[in-house]
């Protein structure tokens, strides 16, 4: 079963590359995701640009509406994701807790519906 | 239920299939005679009914049908077994911390204890459709979130066991001090909680907290009849007729709490049970060893650092060192905004103030407790105390 870890936290930019803060962050993430890859559960993962970098698209009555910013005005923004394949929820929760974001932000563990992707 | 869920891998499907199998038994057994092994017969029949349902509904066929097939096409010699492990799996699944706490309690009563939705709705005083909805949502969440039907791995075991014990304890306290409604005790919930605790103690004999919980429930339940006066009103521990306590339950509870504590891994349920044993082992209220009880509450705070435990310690201190000493602790606890809404705190303060002869302050505290709308029988008790105070003025 696939689970998408949604990483929520304050919408702030990443520390500038090359700084010790940035290196520490990258090290922590590499350690966590390498363990997942080694265990064979990791499918994909990525950080996202800050939510204010987003435009939002809505098509209504054939008209494409473009608005600046994220779809929902909330304090905690969606800042990255990790997609894993696990046997069950308990396994997914164990991995979710190993992510650095679980310690200072929040990780929502969302079950993914299985569908055949178009080819 | 547990054995069928283990085989079909889905709680909702298992429940429907077990119902189908029971209907088949009602139709066939009177005519054909009861089978030699009714349990395995029911499990085998429910398994077939589950497959039938999957075929008929054409839903989620893949996964569950596969699970049923994997479990073996023909029954092993002696029929499908109803294993103790299956029951443990079912309990852990129903009490999974990913489920809402109220849903865990309801689902456990439905799937493990076999209560009907109507019975659970009545026990928690909610309309039946509301309870049915709660149960459906919980079962759906188990399927959608991929909550596995198994006993958790060793690493997760302590935290998951805590969640299970909490559910059993909630079922009992809801029965023992019904938070709403006219009756002070709803006995059927106490009975179900004890049945669950006994099953768990049988399945996990090496877990002292499980033994401790069973001991606690037995020692508390032993006082059930004595807690209610002739008019349905609350009788405080000190005023209870101890000859009405159930001696057999007390003896069993005391043996269990000693056995648990001997394992040298204390925990909150064992400490609660030890406190209950201090009361049940005393023939007259005046002989109660309040110093020991105050010490046990002091230990308990390490596991449950809550103002409720501190308030109970205050009462024990008041009993061993005098009401003034207890009042100092209670007044400190009362500054916690969460506890200020708890009628029992005001009731405890009122009792100590009354003992100190501070009648006006006591009356104010009783009034404060009344305004928080405690259960009906406690309201009657407070009313009596207020009238006594007025007659003394």
User: Searching chain B, which residue's CA lies closest to the CA of residue A113?
Assistant: B144
Helix axes B323-333, B307-321, angle to 10 degrees: 170
Most confident range (mean pLDDT) of A33-37, A48-52, B111-115 is A33-37
Mention every residue, 6+ apart, whose C-beta is less than 8 A from residue A35.
A98
Predicted complex ipTM exceeds 0.85: no
User: Searching chain B, which residue's CA lies closest to the CA of residue A85?
Assistant: B146
Query: What is the pLDDT tens value at each position of chain B, 393 positions in all?
Result: 888 888 887 888 888 888 888 888 888 888 888 888 888 888 888 888 888 888 887 655 555 556 555 555 555 555 555 566 788 889 999 999 999 988 999 999 999 888 889 888 887 778 999 999 999 999 999 999 999 888 888 888 888 899 999 999 988 988 887 555 556 567 888 998 999 999 999 888 889 999 999 999 999 999 998 988 887 777 888 889 999 999 999 999 999 999 999 999 999 999 999 999 999 988 888 899 999 999 999 999 999 888 888 889 999 999 999 999 999 999 888 787 777 788 888 988 999 999 999 999 999 999 999 998 887 778 888 999 999 988 875
CB-CB under 8 Å, B98 with A92: no
Q: Are B216 and B300 in contact (CB under 8 A)?
A: no
Please give the pLDDT value at position B350: 93
Relative to beta strand A55-60, strand A63-68 is antiparallel
Beta bridge partners of A4: A83, A110
Q: Is A90 on the interface with B (CB under 8 A)?
A: yes
- d(CA B102, CA B172) in angstroms, rounded, equals 14
Chain B residues with CB inside 8 Å of A89's CB? 96, 98, 145-148
- d(CA B213, CA B271) in angstroms, rounded, equals 9
For residue A109, pLDDT over 70 is answered with: yes
Q: Residue A49 CB: number of other CB atoms within 10 A? A: 11
Q: Is A89 on the interface with B (CB under 8 A)?
A: yes
Q: Is A4 on the interface with B (CB under 8 A)?
A: no
- Secondary structure (3-state) at A42: strand
CB-CB under 8 Å, A93 with B148: no
Please give the pLDDT value at position B183: 61
Please give the pLDDT value at position B150: 84
Q: Residue B202 CB: number of other CB atoms within 10 A? A: 13
What would the DSSP string read from start to end of B53-118? HHHHH-SSHHHHHHHHHHT-SSPPTTS----HHHHHHHHHHHT-TTS-HHHHHHHIIIIIS---HH
Type and span of the H or E element at B8? helix B2-8
- Secondary structure (3-state) at A75: coil
CB-CB under 8 Å, B146 with A92: yes
Q: Are B252 and B218 in contact (CB under 8 A)?
A: yes
Please give the pLDDT value at position B329: 92
Please give the pLDDT value at position B74: 57
User: Searching chain A, which residue's CA lies closest to the CA of residue B152?
Assistant: A90
Residues A86-99: what's their mean pLDDT?
93
Minimum-distance CB partner of B98 among A87, A89, A94? A89
Tokens for B90, please give them. 């079912």
CB-CB under 8 Å, B146 with A89: yes
Please give the pLDDT value at position B86: 84
Q: Mean pLDDT of all residues in chain A?
A: 89
CB-CB under 8 Å, A87 with B156: no
Chain B residues with CB inside 8 Å of A90's CB? 147-148, 152-153, 156
Helix axes B84-94, B157-176, angle to 10 degrees: 80
Q: Is A116 on the interface with B (CB under 8 A)?
A: no
Minimum-distance CB partner of B147 among A3, A88, A94? A88
Please give the pLDDT value at position B52: 86
Minimum-distance CB partner of A1 among B146, B155, B156? B146
Please give the pLDDT value at position A10: 86
Q: Is A3 on the interface with B (CB under 8 A)?
A: yes
Minimum-distance CB partner of B148 among A3, A88, A111? A88
Residue of B135, B137, B200, B128 whose CA lies nearest to B169: B200
Mention every residue, 6+ apart, whose C-beta is less than 8 A from residue B25.
B38, B41, B42, B45
Question: Edge-to-edge strands of the sheet including A106-111?
Answer: A42-47, A77-85, A2-9, A106-111
Q: Is B146 on the interface with A (CB under 8 A)?
A: yes
């Amino acid at each position: 079963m696939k689970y998408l870890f949604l990483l929520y936290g304050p919408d702030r930019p990443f520390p500038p590359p090359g700084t010790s803060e940035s290196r520490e962050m990258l090290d922590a993430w590499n350690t966590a995701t390498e363990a997942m890859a080694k265990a064979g559960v990791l499918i994909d993962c990525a950080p996202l640009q800050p939510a204010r970098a987003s435009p939002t698209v809505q098509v209504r009555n054939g008209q494409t509406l473009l608005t600046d910013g994220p779809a929902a005005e909330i304090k905690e923004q969606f800042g990255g994701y990790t997609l894993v394949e696990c046997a069950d929820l308990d396994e997914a929760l164990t991995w979710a807790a190993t992510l650095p974001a679980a310690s200072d932000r929040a990780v929502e563990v969302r079950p993914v519906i299985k569908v055949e992707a178009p080819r | 239920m547990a054995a069928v869920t283990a085989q079909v891998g889905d709680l909702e499907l298992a429940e429907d299939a077990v119902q189908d199998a029971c209907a088949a038994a009602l139709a066939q057994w009177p005519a054909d005679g009861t089978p030699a092994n009714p349990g395995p017969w029911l499990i085998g029949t429910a398994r077939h009914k589950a497959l039938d349902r999957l075929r008929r509904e054409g839903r989620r066929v893949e996964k569950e049908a596969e699970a049923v097939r994997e479990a073996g096409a023909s029954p092993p010699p002696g029929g499908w077994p109803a294993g103790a492990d299956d029951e443990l799996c079912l309990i852990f699944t129903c009490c999974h911390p990913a489920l809402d706490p109220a849903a865990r309690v309801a689902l456990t009563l439905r799937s493990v204890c076999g209560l009907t939705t109507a019975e659970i709705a009545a026990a928690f005083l909610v309309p039946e459709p509301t309870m049915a909805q709660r149960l459906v949502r919980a079962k759906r969440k188990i399927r959608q979130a991929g909550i596995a039907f198994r006993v958790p791995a060793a690493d997760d075991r302590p935290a998951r066991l805590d969640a299970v014990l909490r559910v059993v304890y909630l079922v009992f306290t809801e029965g023992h001090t019904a938070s709403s409604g006219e009756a002070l005790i709803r006995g059927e919930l106490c009975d179900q909680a004890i049945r669950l605790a006994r099953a768990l103690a049988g399945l996990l004999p090496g877990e002292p907290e499980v033994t401790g919980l069973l001991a606690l429930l037995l020692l508390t339940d032993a006082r059930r009849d004595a807690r209610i006066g002739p008019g349905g009103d609350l009788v405080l521990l000190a005023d209870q007729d101890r000859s009405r306590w159930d001696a057999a339950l007390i003896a069993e509870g005391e043996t269990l709490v000693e056995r648990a504590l001997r394992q040298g891994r204390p925990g909150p349920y064992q400490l609660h049970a030890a406190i209950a044993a201090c009361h049940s082992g005393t023939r007259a209220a005046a002989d109660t060893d309040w110093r020991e009880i105050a010490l046990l509450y002091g230990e308990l705070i390490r596991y449950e650092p809550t103002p409720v435990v501190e308030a109970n310690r205050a009462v024990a201190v008041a009993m061993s060192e005098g009401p003034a000493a207890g009042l100092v602790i209670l007044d400190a606890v009362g500054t916690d905004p969460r506890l200020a809404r708890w009628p029992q705190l005001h009731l405890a303060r009122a009792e100590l103030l009354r003992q100190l002869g501070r009648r006006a302050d006591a009356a104010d505290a009783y009034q404060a407790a009344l305004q928080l709308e405690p259960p009906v029988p406690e309201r009657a008790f407070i009313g009596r105390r207020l009238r006594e105070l007025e007659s003394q003025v």
